[in-house]
Amino acid sequence: MGLTAGDDMSQGISYIDIIFLALVAGFLILRLRSVLGRRTGNEKPPMQRPQDEDVVVDLATRRRADQDDAARPARSSTDELPLFLRRSTEPLVAPEAMGGVMAIKAADPAFDENRFLAGSVAAFEMILNAYVQGDTKMLRSLLADEVYRQFAEAIKGFADRGEKLETELIGMRAASITSARLDGRNAFLTVRFVTEQMIVVRDRSGAILEGDPSRFEQLVDAWTFSRDIASRDPNWRLVTTTTPEE
């Protein structure tokens, strides 16, 4: 994502028993421009969509697969993961984060890392779409007051300048918990997202100011979520956004 604004840490909304209420200014600033996250150097040439071997699951395909799964009885938390994560050959929790995850589970037996990860993936898509669409009603229900104000001002700024941000989330390539720790009653988990996105900024006449609608880029974002595990409030807050170096 690029800027740090705090300390460390698919089946849409029905997966989420965690609601992400607060984003940080770093996320906002980077979302104002045509590049979200960090380019990985794996940018795709014009009009080249991911092939099966890319292991990129189109979001619509993911939703259909998860809807089919919804009819199955006695689903485990692994079943609740998006299809692309169930197919992943990479660990969903990095080895260096495992100790922190176990500490959080010991302190909060209700915590499940698979459900948390599924919720974070759904939240990524939901928040990005709401921002790009200027859906302030949706953002109001997801963001803390100050962060909502910043988002609303940014959306208004685009409108005042006659600019339009267009972002298509082609698919999610990877998502994993890369860091986890328990600091007193507060749990912190960092999720690394790798996405395929098409991003364009247009002026009032529709001319492109930034980006290329025939290309999409592979971007990396890291979001750190925090929750007071002693609280009866199940909600996790996004407290930090960064741009991973790797």
Residue 225, beta-bridge partner list: 189, 238
Task: Please give the DSSP secondary-structure letter assigned to residue 199.
Answer: E
Longest Cα–Cα distance of the chain, Å, equals 57
State percent of the chain over pLDDT 70: 67
Cα separation, 243 vs 82, in Å, equals 23
Per-residue confidence (pLDDT) for residue 71, from 0 to 100: 56
Cα separation, 123 vs 112, in Å, equals 16
From 232, 165, 168, 229, select the one nearest 9 (Cα to Cα).
229
Per-residue confidence (pLDDT) for residue 242, from 0 to 100: 77
Dihedral-angle region of residue 134 (phi above 0 means left; psi in -120 to 50 means alpha; beta otherwise): left
Per-residue confidence (pLDDT) for residue 235, from 0 to 100: 78
The string of pLDDT tens digits covering residues 29-84 is 344 433 344 555 555 554 444 444 333 334 444 555 555 555 555 567 888 888 88
Q: Are 99 and 177 in contact (CB under 8 A)?
A: no
From 124, 90, 102, 88, select the one nearest 15 (Cα to Cα).
124
Of the options 3.30.365.10, 3.10.450.240, 3.30.70.2610, 3.40.50.880, the CATH number for the domain spanning 12-70+78-242? 3.10.450.240
Per-residue confidence (pLDDT) for residue 146, from 0 to 100: 63
The segments of the chain whose pLDDT lies below 50 read: 1-37, 46-61
Per-residue confidence (pLDDT) for residue 47, from 0 to 100: 44
Per-residue confidence (pLDDT) for residue 203, from 0 to 100: 94
Per-residue confidence (pLDDT) for residue 21, from 0 to 100: 42
Cα separation, 119 vs 97, in Å, equals 18
Which residue spans within 20-74 are E strands per DSSP? 38-39, 57-58
Give residue limits of the domains in the chain.
Answer: 12-70+78-242
